[in-house]
Structure 1
Amino acid sequence: MPSEFELIERHFSRATPQATLGPGDDCALLTPTPGMSLAITTDMLVAGTHFLPDTDPGQLGWKTLAVNLSDLAAMGARPRWALLAASLPAADTAWIGAFADGLFACASHYGVDVVGGDTTRGPLNLCLTALGELPAGTALQRNHAVPGDELWVSGQPGLAALGLAQLQGRTQLPAELARRCLDALQRPMARVELGLELRQRGLAHAAIDVSDGLLADLDHILKRSGVAAEVFVAQLPPLPTGVDPLLARQCQLAGGDDYELVFSAPPDKRAEITELAAQLALPLWRFGLVVGTGDSRLRLLDADGQAQAFNERGFDHFG
Structure 2
Amino acid sequence: MSLDEFGLIDRIRSRTGARADIALGIGDDAALLLPAPGQQLVVTADTLNAGVHFPHETPAQDIGWKALAVNLSDLAAMGAQPAWCTLSLSLPESSASWVEGFAEGFFALADRHGMALVGGDTTRGPLAISITAMGQVPVGQALRRDGARPGDDVWVTGVPGEAGLALALWQQRQLAVAGPVAEPAREQLRLRLARPTPRLEAGLALRGLASAAIDVSDGLLADLGHVCARSGVAAEVMESSLPASQHASELQLGAAFEGLRAGAGDDYELCFTAPASARAQVAQSMASVAVRATRIGYIRTGSGVRLLDGEGKAVSRERSGFNHFSIGGQ
Please indicate the TM-score interval, normalised by the length of the shorter structure.
over 0.9
Residue 98 of structure 2 aligns with which residue? 95
How far apart are the structure 2 equivalents of 1:218 and 1:312? 10
Post-superposition offset of 1:163: 1.4
Quick one: which of 225, 235, 241 aligns to 2:231?
A: 225
- What are the Cα deviations for residues 147-187 of structure 1, in whole angstroms up to 9, with x where unaligned? 00000000111111111122222657993221111111111
Show the counterpart of 1:45.
Answer: 48
Which structure 2 segments of 5+ residues have no match? 176-180, 325-330
Instruction: Indicate conservation of the 8 Å contact 2:239/2:308, yes or no.
Output: yes
For structure 1, list consecutive stretches of 5 or more residues without a partner in the other structure: none
Counterpart code for 2:120: G
Contact 2:263 2:317 in 1 (8 A): no
Q: Summarize deviations over 1:90-129 as a string: whole Å, max 9, x none.
A: 0111111100111111110111100110000000010000
Match of 1:179 among 187, 195, 198: 187
Alpha carbons of 1:112 and 1:174: their partners in 2 closer, same or farther (altered >3 Å)?
A: closer
How much does 1:280 deviate?
1.8
How do 1:17-56 residues align onto structure 2 when only pairs under 5 Å count?
Answer: 17=19, 18-56=21-59
Secondary structure of the residue aligned to 1:234 is: helix
Give the CA deviation at 1:244.
3.8
Shift of 1:254: 1.2
Residue 261 of structure 1 is matched in structure 2 by 270
Measure how far apart 1:268 and its partner are.
0.7
One-letter amino acid of the counterpart of residue 258, structure 1: D
Instruction: Please give the root-mean-square deviation of Cα atoms over the aligned residues, in Å.
Output: 1.9
Aligned residues: 315
Contact 1:12 1:100 in 2 (8 A): no
Structure 1 residue corresponding to 2:282, chosen from 273, 279, 291: 273
Q: Does 1:293 align with 2:302?
A: yes
Of 259, 262, 266, which aligns to 1:250? 259
Q: Shift in Å at residue 68 of structure 1?
A: 0.1
- Alignment of structure 1 residues 116-195 onto 2, 5 Å: 116-169=119-172, 175-195=183-203
**CA distance in 1 between partners of 2:173 and 2:230 (Å):** 35
Q: What TM-score does the superposition give when structure 2 sets the normalisation length?
A: 0.91
Matches of 2:221 and 2:227, distance apart in 1:
10
Match of 2:218 in 1: 212
> What is the aligned partner in structure 2 of residue 309 from structure 1?
316
3-state SS, counterpart of residue 143 of structure 1: coil
CA contact (8 A) 1:159 1:180 kept: no
Shift of 1:189: 1.1
Query: 2:266 touches 2:322 (CA, 8 Å); kept in 1?
Result: no
SS at match of 1:157: coil
